[in-house]
Chain A
Amino acid sequence: MKKTIMIAGAAGEGINTSELFLERMLKREGFFVLSYKNYMSRVRGGFNYATITLGTEMVNSCEDRADIIIALNQEALDKSPMMLKKEGFILASDQLKTDAVEAHKSILWIEQEPLKAVSSSKNAFSMCAIGVVLKKLGLEQEALKGMTLKKWSEEVNQTNLAAGTYGFSLLESQIKTEITHQKETILVNGNQAVALGAMASGLGFYSAYPMAPSTGIITYLAAHEREMGLIVEQAEDEIAAIMAAIGAASNGVRAMTGTSGGGFALMVEALGFAAVSEVPLVVCNVQRPGPATGLPTRTEQADLSFVVTASQGEFARIVLAPLTVEDAFYTTFRAFNLAEKYQVPVIILTDQLLADSTQTISKFKTSGLKIERYLMEEVQTHYKRYDFDQTFGGRKYPGLDDQTLVMTDSHVHDEYGNETEDEQMTIKLKHKFIRRIEGIKNELNAPIFYGSESYKTLLICWGSTFGALKDAVNALNDQGESVAMLAFSDVFPIKEDVLKVYLKENVNVINVEGNAFNQFGKILRMETGVTFTKSINKYDGRPFNASYIIEAYRK
């Protein structure tokens, strides 16, 4: 069972509240949900929608068509038929009824007169529609209790509830769904998962400049700053944000900054500073389509080529692209250990799809996680902060003991951190970076294999494309195809033999990624020599879904 509910309208018409109520109530009733926000870069108006895909087991990807659409205004109503499944229906206010749309038999008109009689809520229609949806999905009236917000007055909550109850009474028919109540699940979005992973890893300092779609990270951290004993600082720009994170990290605190592509572009010089000064730094780039301002609230996987080469000169770095909301937690946790072990910048590459996807997932397990810091405990009278023989570990910071002095430097330097222009030291510094890259390659996770063991086609993806591709692989194999997929979360650096065991004679390899230039495909080709039969790309600012991939596969 998989159903999708869409709430469409203008910014400010209550889409977010309706989405929040629905996903919360559905989750409490035991459904798995995955909701995604499709919104414009504006505060009021425009055409926005949220989709909530629910199922009785984990939902991997959003559907592009809905079973039920709640149309909040005329434009939403006009666009709804195109986004509706064949057997689906639309909920709209009868005040939008015109001769042109009346004929559409899939519209269920909600009469405003009787609704107004039971509820004075300004959101009466959307609350009523929620009631209809709950009834349709076979939920008990009890579930409506989830339609309240603590921040609202009792009166507002009551009028909303009245509208919801009225909606619940409108339909007779119900879908009966057998639900196994899921224990230990949480409903969380990608930005929150990153923030939680960072805090689990001992984050102490976070600085950022607001930028969609990354702002959710700092918002969540700031809300828990006091409780978790953090310092969360809104910087004057992204350069200050990353430099402050480096300042904190170089003084022994796990620190991070987060931004989107445009902000990351401003951070580039500092990225190289973190690398040469060997400061463990974690940067999250929540991708949105570029170049420049691009599409501020949309999604794309088009910053990969940029982040793997960003900053002048040559140095070691790690790029990790979480596959799912759940993975965003564990990958972010891991990012800090890797950064501190190799004393390199680690870039976490998510995107608006992950950031704005709220998903029911297993509660994060922290019992098996260990913060590993790779510090040098012994006092050093002449501390070699930049010991050329060291590949990882051996780090000290000011105040770790009361005798060692630490010099952190942005130049080519000697082992003590004194700037130098010596040829041999310049070479030794390079060799250290090269050794680190080799160490990192052996440490990073192999891609996840999924699908038919006797595959004739191998589809390769990275990052958030995982969910849609997994659903596509399932569907294709159900349809008699023989396909498998490889999903990379650890996207850079890439080991030369990473594909060796998967490439076979007579197996087609297809590259699937959310950009037009096949950025990861090119990295894979460069490092492994793989050739792709074809590629499936999406670059319209909207996320992949399974049906899009299946259609492209069959072309």
Chain B
Amino acid sequence: MTKIETINNPFVMNHPTSWCPGCGNFSILESINETLNDLGLTPQEVLMVSGIGQAAKLPHYIHAHGLNSLHGRALPVVMGAHAANHNLRIILTSGDGDTYGEGGNHFIHGIRRNMDIVHIVHDNQIYGLTKGQGSPTTAFGQKTRLQVDGMRPDPLNPVALAISMDCSFVARSFSGDPEHLKSMIKAAMAHKGYALIDVLQPCISFNEVNTFKWYKERVYKLDPSFDATDRVKAFEKALEFGDEGIPMGILYKNEKATFIERIAHIDEPLVYKKRTPDDVQKLLEQFD
């Protein structure tokens, strides 16, 4: 990103962050800023939502509407925000612990609802803000500050889980490849429905295994001929993770009716509906 772009981009805030120098979060923040500007959106059209964690501080660093909620609870808070005003473009940014750990149940049910939002998960396979414990995506056996003998549970595969649930858009990217990341955010923004982007990023402070180099040596872009509408193939690809390579790109796509489209009587956002106490009079007649 050049200086000139910074000046002309209304989303850029230049607010001091509490991220570690060199953190992958910076690249994700810049990619979001640039994509939003490229799409010609205004800050007033965008609502940035997060849970709690290092990644979840991101809404404070973007000049747009923000909603920094509770740990794990960003998806349900988004449900209400989206129900209230589906004209707002909602981007949810949160970490792997927030989304897949504390928020695991909401993740599953969020996929089922298919809200028209973009969900960017900063997946560094470790807990950052609480200083180095294993996350749901930390590899089995990996040693952490807490799991000194190695992780005992198996890791969660978020993209495979999402595809198994017929999530309408599932992508993977890497914070070390901002061009790819931007193209994924752009595709997710263009997609109608719930779009999950699992963004691999190194945690320079607490994850000594999944480093920039580790990811760089393993990630590869999906072949342009890859058919993202084939759910079985997508699932197969989603299982690829580790030394055999990590596929990046849109793994799966199935456009279907969104949360709002499934509520037949909702057209104009709820927030603009005028209501008066007399509205209930017609209901009261049913109690005679």
A interface residues, Cβ below 8 angstroms from B: 186-188, 192, 196, 199-205, 207, 224-231, 233, 235-237, 239-241, 243-255, 269-270, 273, 277, 333, 363-364, 366-367, 369-371, 397-399, 402-411, 417-419
Beta-carbon nearest neighbor of B105 in chain A: A236
CB within 8 Å for A204 and B275 given contacts A236-B109, A398-B88: yes
Taking a contact as CB atoms closer than 8 A, the residue among B57, B65, B265, B282 that contacts A229 in the complex is B265
Chain B min CB distance to A10 (Å):
29
Residue from B69, B106, B265, B276 with most neighbouring chain A CB atoms (10 Å): B69
Give the residues in chain B near A367, CB-CB below 8 Å. Answer: 277-278
Given the known interface contacts A235-B76, A246-B77, A418-B15, the answer about A405 and B43 at a Cβ–Cβ threshold of 8 Å is yes
Docked-complex contact A229 and B271, CB < 8 angstroms: no
- B7, CB-defined interface residue at 8 Å: no
Q: Say whether A363 contacts B284, CB under 8 Å.
A: yes
A-B contact pairs, 11 of them (CB 8 A): A243-B69, A246-B80, A248-B84, A249-B84, A251-B47, A253-B84, A273-B70, A399-B269, A405-B63, A407-B59, A417-B66
Name which residue of chain B comes closest to A248, CB basis: B80
Q: In the complex the two chains form, is B277's CB within 8 Å of A251's CB?
A: no
B187 at interface by CB-CB < 8 Å: no
Cβ contact within 8 Å between B273 and A229:
yes
Q: Is the CB of A245 within 8 A of B68?
A: no
When chains A and B are docked, how far (Å) is the Cα of A192 from the Cα of B286? 12
User: In chain B between 12 and 57, which residues have their CB closer than 8 angstroms to a CB of chain A?
Assistant: 15, 43-44, 47, 52, 57
Give Cα A249 to B85, complex, Å: 11
Instruction: Say yes or no for B288: interface residue by CB 8 A criterion.
Output: yes
Contact across chains for A253 and B83 when beta carbons are under 8 A apart: yes
Partner of A248, one of B83, B88, B265, B281: B83
Q: Which residue in B68, B77, B271, B284 is a CB contact (below 8 Å) of A399?
A: B271
State whether B78 touches A231 (Cβ < 8 A).
no
Contact (Cβ within 8 A) B278 A366? yes
Which residues 72-107 of B sit at the A interface, judged by CB distance below 8 A?
A: 73, 75-85, 87-88, 105-106
Residues of A contacting B75 with CB < 8 Å?
A: 240
Choose one: A200, A204, A419; the contact of B84 (CB below 8 Å): A204
Give every chain A residue within 8 A of B73 (Cβ-Cβ): 239-240, 243, 270, 273
Give the residues in chain A near B106, CB-CB below 8 Å: 236, 239-240
| Residues B277 and A408 in contact, CB atoms below 8 Å apart | no
- What is the CB-to-nearest-CB distance from B271 to chain A, in angstroms, rounded to a whole number? 4
The reply on B263 being an interface residue by CB < 8 A is yes
Whether B57 and A251, one on each chain, are in contact in the complex, defined by CB atoms closer than 8 angstroms, is no
Pick from B47, B59, B280: contact of A366, CB under 8 Å: B280
Which A residue sits closest to B51, measured CB to CB? A410
| A residues near B44, Cβ cutoff 8 Å | 398-399, 402-405
Neighbouring B residues of A225 by C-beta, 8 Å: 265
Q: How far is the CB of B230 from chain A (nearest CB, A)?
A: 29
A366-B78 Cα distance, complex, nearest whole Å: 33
Do A255 and B273 contact each other (CB < 8 Å), given the known contacts A405-B63, A410-B68?
A: no
In the complex, the answer to whether B68 meets A231 with C-beta atoms within 8 Å is: no
Decide: B85 and A366 in contact? CB cutoff 8 A: no
The answer to whether B283 has its CB under 8 Å from any CB of chain A is: yes
B283 touches A205 (CB 8 A): no
Besides the known contacts A243-B76, A252-B271, 14 further A-B residue pairs in the complex with CB atoms under 8 A apart: A196-B280, A227-B282, A228-B283, A229-B270, A243-B77, A246-B69, A247-B77, A248-B84, A251-B271, A273-B70, A273-B73, A407-B65, A409-B60, A410-B70
Q: Which residues of A contact B120 (CB under 8 A)?
A: none
The smallest C-beta distance from B242 to any residue of chain A, in angstroms, reads 31
Q: Cβ of B276 and Cβ of A371 under 8 Å apart?
A: yes
The CA-CA distance from A233 to B78 in the complex, in Å, is 13
A508-B288 Cα distance, complex, nearest whole Å: 43
Whether the Cβ atoms of A187 and B278 lie closer than 8 Å is no
Q: List the B side residues contacting A200 at CB < 8 Å.
A: 277, 279-280
Q: In the bound complex, do residue B64 and residue A240 qualify as a contact, i.e. CB atoms below 8 Å apart?
A: no
Q: How far is the CB of B264 from chain A (nearest CB, A)?
A: 8
Given known contacts A187-B287, A200-B277, A408-B68, A240 and B79 CB-to-CB distance under 8 angstroms: yes
